[in-house]
Amino acid sequence: MEVLREKVEEEEAAEREEAAEQAEHAEKMERMVRLAEVSKEERILTQDELRDLEKKMMAVEIPIPAERPIINKAIIDVSKLPPSYTTNSPKEEHLLQVADNFSRQYSHLCPDRVPLFLYPLNECEVPKFVSTTLRPTLMPYPELYNWDSCAQFVSDFLTMVPLLDPLKPVVKKKEKVSPKKYAVKPPRDLTSRFEQEQEDKRQQEIQALEKKRLREEEEHLLEAEKSKPDPLHGLRVHSWVLVLAGKREVPECFFIDPLTARSYSTKDDHFLGIESLWNHRNYWVNMQDCWNCCKDLVFDLGDPVRWEYMLLGSDKPYLSLTEDYDEGMDNDDDVEYLGKEDEDKSFDMPPSWVAQIEITPEEFETRCPNGKKVIQYKRAQVEKWAPYLNNNGLVCRLTTYEDLQCTKGLEIKEWYQNREDMLELRHINRTTGLHVDYFKPGHPQALQVHSYKSMLPEMDRVMEFYEMAREDGLIKREETPMTMTEYYGGRSDFLSYRHINFGPRIKKLTQNSAESNPRPMVKITERFSRNPEKPADEDVAERVFLITEERIQLRYHCRDDYITASKREFLRRTEVDSKGNKINMTPDMCISFEVEPMEHTKKLLYQYKTMIHLKNEEKLSRHQAWESELEVLEILKLREEEEAAHTLTISIYDTKRNEKSKEYREAMERVLHEEHLQQVETQLDYLAPFLAQLSPGEKLTRWQAVRLKDECLSDFKQRLIDKANLIQARFEKETQELQKKQQWYQENQVTLSPEDEDLYLSYCSQAMFRIRILEQRLNRHKEMAPLKYLALEEKLYKDPRLVEFLKVFV
């Protein structure tokens, strides 16, 4: 074939770039899927292996719209595919011949190199040229407009299936060399030499251990790779995407790995070489030496020395690409244009045989096949789910492991979405058993963070709340089995901290019910922030209720220019009388230290009042502490209920899932539809019988239209006249009958029985009524008829079917 010049070149990059520029993401995706790159060193790849490769490619070709969730070729229902999948058009046959010719020339000229990956079999076992598997498509999702999010989508969609050759690509493993697990501690200055030596020894031991561990790890690695780490290095094949610089502000060429959606520089070590490139327009073979990976490659596809193209038609200098490929529409023109110029040599790439990609919003949201994807990392595993797929709202789970085999879990992080209880992230530490739940704003109890080891009350737990969300200003509540600490903010009583010490629970023998037996409180410590309205000497900073000792300690705020603060201690020992109410205040019940002694505080009365006030406050504080305990129980109960129910919320904008709005919408649609039907019924087509006279499909002429109008009008006129006549006839008939009856009555008046007379009279009145009605109708008809006629005439003039022809006459 002359089409194949010696310097036929392949390029996938052009296509890549064009994709970028055209925003045809799905196309890009597809392309990405189908691009198979053969790494350069893979010289020994036999025909069979090529088949394997092909098969692998087939396997990878999931995103054919209909078979979205299917990964295996076997599951694809071949019979339902369009004929383009199962047959080759003449043009495609021609192309295959061209490709075959190219391939033969190539293997003749470059016998050392791996046979080209040109026309693998598709899912229907039909050979297809790789370029024709690409179909540029613009998808309606803004996320697919740029390469990064688009690549992410594709990578979510793809699942890595190893080639039949059961080796995993070495490259991938090497990417993640584990970081050093130890770091030498910076030397301490003031340590003695002896200690340092000891330290060194210890370090050495650790190092030895570490080395051992490393060695073991490596062994593990080797094991994992089935003890064949290197022999195939550089022989493995992979396909990836090249984005060429130039369009859509792409500053330089780069690779995208379709399985991870990560971008790599073209100089990256992991990419050992390129065998060939293609896009939907052409196919290029790399003629450059890849001894230094891809670092020295020049991606100027217009250079026939470096890139041997297969089809001449698309042979273009690199730089001009930017101008020519601006729009998808241009492509055909270019090819045609070139074809005319160089008819013998150019060949038009046939259109893609692949069906148009369609991604429904559901599929787009689901992302992964079946909505689930598992990514395995070294010592970690990520599982992703589509929203609403799990009924507890779980969308992502990251599990980290201690060992390479991923058996001993270390930590689990679970991300949730659309939960009604606003749970966002759950962090579980397997070693300590600590659960930490993070909530988004909006939890009914304003929870922000909840960390716990067990859901049982009176255990170690920390609850953090959204500030300002709670009325009582609680920010944080920490609990241990014997204490509870609460932190407050923004309260009008300036309380900032409350610490409660509990004593051991007393067994209640007399109590009949077991429902509430709160732990006795031993001590309540409350701290207050400064109230600027009070003088510091009267503003309590801390008060401690020693409940069992019956003591109250107060510490006041420190004055601005002082370093000591006033203190006061109340002893209630003597206060409790036999009556329990009467209190004898004595000076020794209050010990106070005042920074600036004041007169009024010395008074017993003042002290008495303060003490009474504090007594009440103590009761209040105990009550509040008790309420806090209850609240904890309540929150725990609520959490358990929420966990059990795990209701998911549905946005009102989510038309698909929101049942209510769906019902409403459907109802609205139904109503609309019904209304429409009614309208149709009421609007009888007055022209229909006349139009029916015309032969179907015949176009109206002006003459016909005029005639149609006239006919319609005359018909209507006739009907009006008929109607008038009908009414007239009935009227006359009634009148005649009445006259007859009257005559009859006059004749037989004498002989008539009273009943007959009654009958006659009633008949008369009824007849008169009918006659009157008919008369009215007739009159009204006479009045209305001309108006109706005119109305119809006007309507006809405005009728969309006739308006064009009748315009002239109006």
Partner 1 sequence: MSWPYDSMQLKVMDDNMLKVAVGEQGPQEEAGRLAKQEDILFKDVLSLQLDFQNILHIDNLWQFENLQKLQLNNNIIERIEGLENLTHLVWLDLSFNNIEAIEGLDTLVNLEDLSLSNNRISKIDSLDALVKLQVLSLGNNQIGNIMNVIYLRQFTCLQTLSLAGNPIAEAEDYKMFIYAYLPDLVYLDFRHIDEQAREVAKIKHQYNIDELKHREAQMQAQLEDEQGQREKLAEHKLAFIEHLDGSFLFESLYAEDMEGNKLSYLPGVGEFLEAYKDKFVIICLNIFEYGLKQQEKRKIELDTFNECMQEAILENQEQGKLKVAKFEERHLQCLNAIREETELSNIEKKLIECSDDINELFNMLMMLEMQLVEQLEETINMFERNITDLVGLFVENVQSLMAQCRDLENHHHEKVLETAINYLEKILKGEMDKDLPDDVRALFVDKDTIVNAVGASHDIHLLKIDNREDELVTGINSWCTHLVDKIHKDEIMRNRKRVKEITQYIGHMQSELDNLECGDIID
Whichever of 530 and 603 has its CB closer to partner 1, that residue is 603
Whichever of 591 and 667 has its CB closer to partner 1, that residue is 591
Q: How many residues make contact with partner 1 (CB under 8 A)?
A: 18
Count CB-CB contacts under 10 A for residue 399: 19
As measured in angstroms, the least distance from the Cβ of 605 to partner 1 is: 5
8 Å CB contact between 778 and 724: yes
Residue in the structure block whose two tokens are 């230290």: 593
- Which span (495-503, 589-597, 644-652, 662-670) binds partner 1, by CB under 8 A? 589-597
As measured in angstroms, the least distance from the Cβ of 575 to partner 1 is: 10
Whichever of 534 and 603 has its CB closer to partner 1, that residue is 603
What span, in angstroms and rounded, lies between the C-alpha atoms of 482 and 476? 17
Please report whether residue 534 would count as binding partner 1 according to CB under 8 A. Answer: no
Please report whether residue 769 would count as binding partner 1 according to CB under 8 A. Answer: no
Please report whether residue 562 would count as binding partner 1 according to CB under 8 A. Answer: yes
8 Å CB contact between 485 and 628: no
Helices of type H across 320-412? 321-324, 330-341, 361-366
Phi/psi at 450 (5° precision): -135, 110
- Which span (78-86, 359-367, 557-565, 716-724) binds partner 1, by CB under 8 A? 557-565
Please select the residue that binds partner 1; options are 456, 563, 750, 810, rule is CB under 8 A: 563
Please report whether residue 582 would count as binding partner 1 according to CB under 8 A. Answer: yes
Please report whether residue 558 would count as binding partner 1 according to CB under 8 A. Answer: yes
Please select the residue that binds partner 1; options are 184, 190, 329, 605, rule is CB under 8 A: 605
As measured in angstroms, the least distance from the Cβ of 187 to partner 1 is: 32
Please select the residue that binds partner 1; options are 110, 585, 598, 778, rule is CB under 8 A: 585
Residue in the structure block whose two tokens are 């080796």: 167
- Pick the closest to residue 799 from 670, 693, 729, 712 (CA basis): 712
**357 contacts: CB under 8 Å, gap ≥ 6:** 26, 27, 29, 30, 63, 64, 65, 135, 137, 139
Residue in the structure block whose two tokens are 């770091």: 183
- Which span (160-168, 587-595, 614-622, 668-676) binds partner 1, by CB under 8 A? 587-595
Please select the residue that binds partner 1; options are 1, 434, 544, 595, rule is CB under 8 A: 595
* Interface map 147-176 toward partner 1 (x if CB under 8 A): ------------------------------
Phi/psi at 246 (5° precision): 125, -55
C-alpha angle with apex 541: 536 to 544, nearest 5 degrees?
140
As measured in angstroms, the least distance from the Cβ of 409 to partner 1 is: 44
As measured in angstroms, the least distance from the Cβ of 458 to partner 1 is: 27
As measured in angstroms, the least distance from the Cβ of 620 to partner 1 is: 21
Cα 639 to chain centroid distance, Å, stands at 26
Q: Which helix (H) or strand (E) holds 528?
A: strand 521-528
As measured in angstroms, the least distance from the Cβ of 489 to partner 1 is: 23
As measured in angstroms, the least distance from the Cβ of 522 to partner 1 is: 15
8 Å CB contact between 400 and 415: no
Residue in the structure block whose two tokens are 């739940």: 437
Tokens of 742: 């009257």
Please report whether residue 329 would count as binding partner 1 according to CB under 8 A. Answer: no
Kindly list the distances between the CA atom of residue 186 and the CA atoms of 181, 199, 206, 414, 606, in Å, as whole numbers in the listed order: 16, 11, 15, 37, 62
**796 contacts: CB under 8 Å, gap ≥ 6:** 686, 687, 709, 712, 713, 802, 806
Please report whether residue 616 would count as binding partner 1 according to CB under 8 A. Answer: no
As measured in angstroms, the least distance from the Cβ of 607 to partner 1 is: 9
As measured in angstroms, the least distance from the Cβ of 480 to partner 1 is: 21
Please select the residue that binds partner 1; options are 6, 189, 561, 659, rule is CB under 8 A: 561
Q: Which helix (H) or strand (E) holds 172?
A: helix 170-175
Whichever of 514 and 605 has its CB closer to partner 1, that residue is 605
Count CB-CB contacts under 10 A for residue 706: 16
Please report whether residue 600 would count as binding partner 1 according to CB under 8 A. Answer: yes
- Which span (16-24, 216-224, 460-468, 592-600) binds partner 1, by CB under 8 A? 592-600
Instruction: Render 620-661 in DSSP notation, one character per residue.
Output: HHHHHHHHHHHHHHHHHHHHHHHHHH--B---TT-TTT-HHH
Please select the residue that binds partner 1; options are 192, 391, 584, 682, rule is CB under 8 A: 584
Please report whether residue 564 would count as binding partner 1 according to CB under 8 A. Answer: yes
Please select the residue that binds partner 1; options are 212, 609, 670, 719, rule is CB under 8 A: 609
Please select the residue that binds partner 1; options are 182, 291, 377, 593, rule is CB under 8 A: 593
What span, in angstroms and rounded, lies between the C-alpha atoms of 499 and 478? 9
Half-sphere exposure of 371 (CA within 13 A, CB side): 15
As measured in angstroms, the least distance from the Cβ of 613 to partner 1 is: 12
| CA-atom Rg of the chain in angstroms | 46
Please select the residue that binds partner 1; options are 583, 650, 700, 764, rule is CB under 8 A: 583
Whichever of 269 and 569 has its CB closer to partner 1, that residue is 569
- Which span (23-31, 375-383, 600-608, 722-730) binds partner 1, by CB under 8 A? 600-608
Phi/psi at 280 (5° precision): -75, 0
Residue 307's DSSP bridge partners are: 286
466-491 burial, b for 16+ CB within 10 Å, e for fewer? beebbeebbbbbbbeeeebbbbbeee
8 Å CB contact between 138 and 25: yes
Residue 425's DSSP bridge partners are: 415, 438
As measured in angstroms, the least distance from the Cβ of 593 to partner 1 is: 5
Please report whether residue 544 would count as binding partner 1 according to CB under 8 A. Answer: no
Whichever of 303 and 550 has its CB closer to partner 1, that residue is 550
Q: Which helix (H) or strand (E) holds 724?
A: helix 702-748
Kindly list the distances between the CA atom of residue 33 and the CA atoms of 62, 158, 258, in Å, as whole numbers in the listed order: 8, 8, 7
- Which span (223-231, 244-252, 577-585, 766-774) binds partner 1, by CB under 8 A? 577-585
Please select the residue that binds partner 1; options are 188, 201, 603, 798, rule is CB under 8 A: 603
Q: Which helix (H) or strand (E) holds 401?
A: strand 394-401
Whichever of 558 and 700 has its CB closer to partner 1, that residue is 558
* Interacting positions 423-452 with partner 1 (CB under 8 A): none
Whichever of 235 and 565 has its CB closer to partner 1, that residue is 565
Please report whether residue 71 would count as binding partner 1 according to CB under 8 A. Answer: no
* Interacting positions 671-700 with partner 1 (CB under 8 A): none
Please select the residue that binds partner 1; options are 305, 604, 668, 790, rule is CB under 8 A: 604
Kindly list the residues in this chain that would bind partner 1 in the complex (CB under 8 A).
Answer: 558, 561-564, 582-585, 591, 593, 595, 600, 603-605, 608-609
